[in-house]
Amino acid sequence: MMLSTAIAIFLPTLLGFLIITIILRNDKETFFGERIGLSFPLGAGILTLQIFLLGLMRIPLTLFNSLMPVFFELMLLSFWIWKNKIVLIPSISDPGLSLFLEIKSPRNHGLKKCLFALLIIWIIAKLVSVFILTGLRPIFAWDAWANWSAGAKIFFYSKSLLLDAPALEFFGGNAVDRILYYPLHNTLLQLWMSLWMGKFDDVFVKFFSPVYCLSMIICLYYIAIREIGKLYALALLAIFLSSPLLSYHSIEMYSDQMLGVYLLFASLSFLKAIRQNLSFCIMAGAYATIAVFTKNEALFFVLPFLLSAIVYFRHDLNKSRGKYVNLISILAPFLALLPWFLFKVHYGLGFLGQLRWLRWSHELYFEYYAHSPDTSLWSFFQPDMILVYIYKMISLDNFNVIFLFFPLIILAHGKISKELLHLLVPIAGYMLFFLFLYIFTAYYMGQSMCLTRNILTFYPLFFFLTILLLKKDDTVLSYPAPITR
C-alpha cells in the first residue's frame, strides 16, 4: 500500500518536474530543491484535468486509461530533454543543501548555531508529525467526505464520472450530498490515488494533502532565504507552521489548503516574472488555472491577478520584439479550463447553480432565524461580520500573530514598491470578495468554520508578502527594460 501510494505521488511530481525543467531550461536562478517543491502541484493539476477529459469522453476511469496519457507525456518530455541536452539539475549552489553547514560554521556564534539547530529540528518534527497523523486516522470531517471524498469513492467503483444521468444527478449527485458545481481537482486526485491502491482507502487516499504542505514549505523557504537570509527564513517558517488550522487541513481532505498553495505559487511565479525571469509567466498562468479547477473562489483571485499582470506588462505591448508574448504566456494555460466551463454551462451547473445556492441560504436564514417573510436576495445586510472577519483572522485558535502584526510591518516598511503593489492587488481583491459575501449573504451567519477555511486560502500569501516586506535592502522599484526569452 505504501509503495503504490508513493508511486501515485511520484508520477505527477516527475511530470511537473520535467515540464518545469523544459520551461526553465535557460534559468540560472531557480534552485533544484525549489523546482522539486513546485513540481507536484503542477503535475497533479495537469493529471486531474486529463482524467476529467477521459471521464467526459466516457472512457472508463481505470488505472491503465488514466496512466497512459501520463506515460506518453513522460516519454515525450524525457525525449525532448535528452534531444536538446537540457540539464535536469542546474549547476548552481543550492542554499537548501548547505543549511546544516550553518550549525558547524566557525563564523557563527554559538547562540546562532543553537537557534539554527532548534528551528531545523522543530520544522522537521512538525512536518514529520503531519505525515504521521495523516496515516493514523481516516477521513473524519463530514463536509470533507461529502463534498470531496464520497464522489471519489463512487468514481472509483463505477469507473466513470456518472454522467449518464440527469444533469442534477451528475457525479453521483443522487447518491451523495455533493455540490454539483464544485470543481473536481481534489476528488479526481483521490480517484488517482485509489486507482494505484486498487481500492478506496480512507487513510492512504489522503497522503497527497501533506505533500501539498511540504511543497508550500519548500518554496516559502527558498523565497525567504533570497530575501531575508537563512535564520530569519527558518524563524518565519516555524511561525507559519504553528497555525493549528494549517496542520488540521494538512491531514484532512478539504480543498482550502490546496487552493492556498496554488494561489501562493501563482503569486510567486508572477513575482519572478516581474523580476524579469519571464519563463515564469506560463507557470503563473498554469498555477492560476489549476486554482480555478480546485475551488470556485479562486476566480476572484485570478481576475484581479490577470488585471495586475495586464497593467504590469502594458509597457511591453508596443515593443516589436516579443509583442504580447508575456500576456499570452500567462493566459494560454486557461484554455485547459474550457472543457470544464463549457460542460458546466451546457448542463446548467455554472454560476446559475451558485445563484440558487445564495437564494437558498437567504431563504433558510429568514425562515429559521429571522422569521421574516422578506426573502429577497439582497435584503440581508450584516456589517457586524466585518468584526467577525477580523476576529477570525487574529484568533490564535486557528492562525498566529501574522495577521495581527501585518499592518505594523507595512507601516514600518514605508513606501510600497510597484513590485509589491502588483502582488497586493489580487490578494486585496480576493479578501474584499469574501468580505462582500460575509456582509451581504446570510450563509455565513453562524458558519465560523467557513470563515476560517476561507482565510486559510490566503494565509500563505500573507507570509509571502511578509517575507518581501522584511527584505533588508528593499527599494522602490521602477519598471526595468523587458527581457525576452
Q: What is the pLDDT of residue 278?
A: 83
Segment-wise mean pLDDT, segments of 10 residues, the chain, 485 residues? 92 97 90 94 97 95 96 96 90 66 71 86 95 92 86 92 80 71 92 95 94 96 91 92 92 94 96 88 96 93 93 65 75 94 82 51 50 48 77 81 87 86 92 84 62 90 93 46 42
Q: What is the pLDDT of residue 385?
A: 76
Task: Write down the domain spans for the chain.
Answer: 296-485
Inter-residue contact 262 to 292 (CB < 8 Å): no
Inter-residue contact 149 to 138 (CB < 8 Å): no
Q: What are the strands, taking DSSP E only, across 315-376? A: none
Q: What is the pLDDT of residue 134?
A: 94
d(CA 269, CA 261): 12
Q: What is the pLDDT of residue 371?
A: 47
CA 413 to chain centre: 27
d(CA 105, CA 102): 5
Kindly state the cell numbers that stand for 315.
509597457
